[in-house]
Amino acid sequence: MIHYFERGRSPEAPVLVLFHGTGGTERDLIPLARRISPESAILSLRGNVLENGMPRFFRRLAEGVFDEADLVFRTKEVQDFLDHAAEEYGLPRTRFVAVGYSNGANLAGSLLFHFRGSFSGAILHHPMVPLRGTTLPDLSGVPVFIGAGRNDPISPARETEELQSMLASAGADVSVHWTYYGHGLSDGEAAAAKDWFEQHFTSMDGKERSGSV
């Protein structure tokens, strides 16, 4: 997969794995990642699917209607890539934390849905439920941050609430940060994600914690 890698300043810090939104690239979320955890290594992916020339992580049939077969295929594709990248770059696979926005958040969520140990935590900005009718793996001890907008026309509040319930039922520790904005990522939401990350992955003395998985 086309990707960007930047080695972190601290080997103890979790690795941030970035997933852009529709039409984005592997460069889009780098400023957000540096804000969330300046010490972390960054592994940022570009989606392998094109929709009218715009990169995505999986196909869709219409707005909000996922091609579920392609989603499952692409989820396995990304999981295999992350395992390979961990070996290639000498990264601790058990300390990968996802940071995704919109389509990228949906793919990151699908990884949580399909593979136990895919991430030790996840920051999902404006996600939807990636797949229904599936049994989630045990997510006990995995913290998940969801950034959501009460007025989001693409990822409505009911999607957030259902996703929160599904993840929590699998044992994840889910925190939802609500705003009254739409689908865009606000500065306040980014700040909340940083605070959440510091709470879950940074100890009181400032040293990075290991992931839970």
Among 70, 183, 186, 195, the active-site one is 183
Angle between helices 103-114 and 68-89 (to 10 degrees): 80
Q: CA triplet 70, 91, 207: central angle to 5 degrees?
A: 120
Is residue 102 part of the annotated active site? The answer reads: yes
Number of helices (H), then strands (E), in the chain:
5, 11
Is residue 28 part of the annotated active site? The answer reads: no
Among 125, 126, 152, 212, the active-site one is 152
Is residue 152 part of the annotated active site? The answer reads: yes
From CA 143, how far away is CA 176, in angstroms rounded? 11
Q: Which two tokens stand for residue 152?
A: 């989001």
Q: Which two tokens stand for residue 71?
A: 């989603």
Among 37, 40, 44, 102, the active-site one is 102
Nearest to 139 by CA among 106, 176, 103, 169: 169
What is the 3-class SS of 70-96, one letter each residue? HHHHHHHHHHHHHHHHHHHHCCCHHHE
Q: Which residues are catalytic?
A: 102, 152, 183
